[in-house]
Amino acid sequence: MVNTSNSPESTREINDLRRAMAKHGIDAWIIPSSDAHNSEYVARHWEGRAWLSGFTGSAGTVVVTRDKAALWTDGRYFIQAAEQLAGSGITLMKDGQPGVPAMADWVAKEVKKQGVVGFDGAVLTLGTTRNLEKKLADKTISLKGDNDLLKEIWANRPELPAEPVFLHDAFYAGKSLMDKVAEVREALTERKATELLITTLDDIAWLFNLRGSDIECNPVFLAYALISQESITLFTNKSRIETDALTVLESAGVKIAGYHEIPGRLSSLPDNTHLMLNPVSTSYKLASVIPPSVALIEDRLPTTDLKAIKNSTEIERMKECHRRDGAAMVRFIRWLENNIPAGELNEVNIDEQLLQFRSESEYFRGVSFPSIVGYAGHGAICHYRADEESAYKIETKGLLLIDSGGQYPDGTTDITRTFACGEMTDEEMRDYTLVLKSHIALATAKFKEGTRGIQLDAITRQPLWSQGIDFNHGTGHGVGYFLNVHEGPQSISPRWFDVALKPGMLITDEPGIYRDNKHGIRLENIMLIAEDMENEFGKFFKLIPMTLVPFDTQPLVKELMTDSEIQWLNSYHGTVRKELSKSVQGEDLKWLEQATQPI
């Protein structure tokens, strides 16, 4: 069980770790949030950082020295981490904030000369360890990544998952395994690579048209893959692959090897191998067994780029997915509005009811992430997760933020809406309107071929910046297709990512305003990047909403909106009404028609 309380448990576990560190001559131990595949969300076996610290956010790294402990996380989790780390003896490091040292710099300062920094080499990437080596070189501090100290101190640690692996049919995928392999091999030829090592689970699931359930909310399975011009090898336990999926793999000539056989295969690569890998996602442990005679070609993997651009079949199937999910949301929102006045709702039973509405579809395969249901001050915790102890009761005032999504064979959804629960303050209504203005700023943006996400990020934030307001997370992320809800390489963020936004990519539009202990507001749609026009100045792109869910217009201050913003909102609501009118009936249809009336 993960410790999420502010009890002395974390202190005891940290002391156990320090004793193990002393036994092995280690001065600092690093535990990231990732697994052996650099996944954002991980199986319980790899939740060591959460187990040790009590902090349950999806992003963070804890470092324990002989006398100190610190945890780094990003702006999405500052409030949550402060609450969960209270009393643990672990210092919160707000990553990226002024005056806060980066993890590697802090380690270099805290560890003595010729000291030893340890970590489990299976969960720290090649790129991260190289950065550490540079930071620690002046003090001749050595790295030790050949052991996992959690094995010695974590009693009843969960085993590695081995859930069934099933076929994602070409009816949904749009391309066969061999079609995708041909594209990958073409990319390898261009890069003069003879082998491709794939360690990221969503890339593997996409390439092989397979899905699993080894990680909560993410339909992936533990595996590695090696691709050459002559062979395709999938490293996962064969016994868990369902019969029809195995038939497809065998007919394509795919070799199946055991999950734990990958280090041995890498260590025996021929001297003339040119191996392509991504140092950002390849573990230190795997990289360390590759013979020095093997030439490494380090870059983002071709599977990552190919997966990001949805094919025509995926785009068409997704439209039906969003109609289905939108209809479930309409039924839910009407239920929510009807039941708030009774005073019996709280953050937990709202989440349960939302799950019930989605579950009524025969195509529903689970949620795409744990729902965020935050009333009043809880809405200001970006990735808040309610439980019976923490859940607020919903009153007939203020704002309720709900961020949720579903997994379906024909798509992955991610929707955030903020709802008026009754009487609102002027500040709440003003903030809501500003967030919608920011959302519309991105939704209506036209941008030239080659545009990076950081450029659109500034456009999105302008309505907030003009009022001296900002939010501490990215504006948008990529979304998988019956895969991970967070998918790269595309992003809209204040951080620089050298990834051009291209037609066929999905990106979310989710600005927000968060006021500690008061309220949180976020409005999110999934958008499809599409071609808009081409002329003597070049190619220009636009964004098309895929999400089909009405925005609550009750908190809007219409006087703060421009005519063009009102026109966009009315047009969007007209599309929602048209697309969902055949998917809802009776009172739900009447509610939809009323909720999407022009303002």
pTM score of the predicted model: 0.93
Residue type, position 123, single letter: V
**189-214 pLDDT per residue, tens:** 999 999 999 999 999 999 999 999 99
Place of tokens 């990289």: 287
pLDDT of 6 higher than 80: no
Q: Exposed, middle or buried by CB within 10 Å (0-12, 13-18, 19+), for 131? A: middle
Q: What is the DSSP letter of 316?
A: H
Instruction: Using a pLDDT cut of 70, give the percent of the chain over it.
Output: 98
Mean per-residue pLDDT over the chain, rounded: 95
The helix (run of H) or strand (run of E) holding residue 416 is strand 415-420
φ and ψ at 22, to 5 degrees? -60, -40
Phi, psi of 580 (to 5 degrees): -100, -10
pLDDT at 462 > cutoff 50: yes
- Taking only the tens place, the pLDDT of each residue in 110-139 is 999 999 999 999 999 999 999 999 999 999
**Binning pLDDT at 50, 70 and 90, where does residue 2 land?**
very low
Question: Which tokens is 372 given?
Answer: 């965020």
For the chain, give the percent of residues with pLDDT over 90: 93
Question: What pLDDT score was predicted for residue 362?
Answer: 96
Nearest in space to 273 (alpha carbons), one of 204, 223, 227: 227
- The structure tokens listed for 385 are 């997760």
Confidence of residue 551 (pLDDT cuts 50, 70, 90): very high
> What is the per-residue pLDDT across 512-526, written as a single tens digit (0 to 9) for each?
999 999 999 999 999
Q: Looking at residue 88, what is its pLDDT?
A: 87
Compute the C-alpha angle 89/90/93, nearest 5°: 145
| Buried-exposed string 14-48: b where 16+ CB fall within 10 A, e elsewhere | bebbbebbeeeebbbbbbbbbbbbbbbbbbbbbbb
Condensed to tens digits (0 to 9), the pLDDT of residues 217-268 reads 999 999 999 999 999 999 999 999 999 999 999 999 999 999 999 999 999 9
With contact defined as beta carbons under 8 Å apart, do 15 and 8 qualify? no
Q: Which of 305-314, 385-394, 584-593 has the lowest mean pLDDT?
A: 385-394
- In three-state secondary structure terms, 588 is helix
Is residue 200 within 8 Å of 37, Cβ to Cβ? yes
Gap between the Cα atoms of 306 and 236, Å rounded = 23
Tell me, what's the pLDDT at 80?
Answer: 87
Q: What pLDDT was estimated at residue 10?
A: 65
Pairing of strands 407-408, 447-448: unpaired
Q: What would you report as the CA-atom Rg of the chain, rounded to the nearest whole angstrom?
A: 25
* Phi (first) and psi of residue 535, to 5 degrees: -150, -165
Quick: pLDDT tens for 38-61. Answer: 999 999 999 999 999 999 988 899
CB 198 within 8 A of CB 224: yes
- Structure confidence at residue 1 (pLDDT): 29
- The mean pLDDT value for 354-364 works out to 98
Q: What pLDDT shows up at residue 12?
A: 85
Please report, for residues 157, 240, 250, 252, 381, the alpha-carbon distance to residue 243 in angstroms, rounded to integers and kept in the order given: 31, 9, 10, 14, 44
Q: In what order do the strands lie in the sheet with 447-448?
A: 447-448, 538-545, 525-535, 506-509
What band does 87 get if pLDDT is binned at 50, 70 and 90? confident
Q: How is residue 524 annotated by DSSP?
A: B
563-580 vs 586-595: helix crossing angle, rounded to 10: 170
Which pLDDT tens digit goes with each residue over 483-510? 999 999 999 999 999 999 999 999 999 9
pLDDT, residue 121, reads 96
pLDDT at 7: 42
pLDDT category, 3, cuts 50, 70, 90? very low
Residue 9: its pLDDT value, please? 54
Give the confidence band of 383 by pLDDT, cuts at 50, 70, 90: confident
> What 3-state DSSP class applies to 257?
strand
CB atoms within 10 A of CB 471: 22
Question: Which burial class, exposed, middle or buried, applies to 393 when counting CB atoms under 10 A from its CB (0-12, 13-18, 19+)?
Answer: exposed
| CB-CB contact of 41 with 32 (8 Å) | no
Go through 175-186 and write b for each residue having 16 or more CB atoms within 10 A of its CB, e for each that does not: bebeebbebbbe
Distance CA 15, CA 31 (A): 15
Of 506, 510, 450, residue with least CA distance to 478 = 506
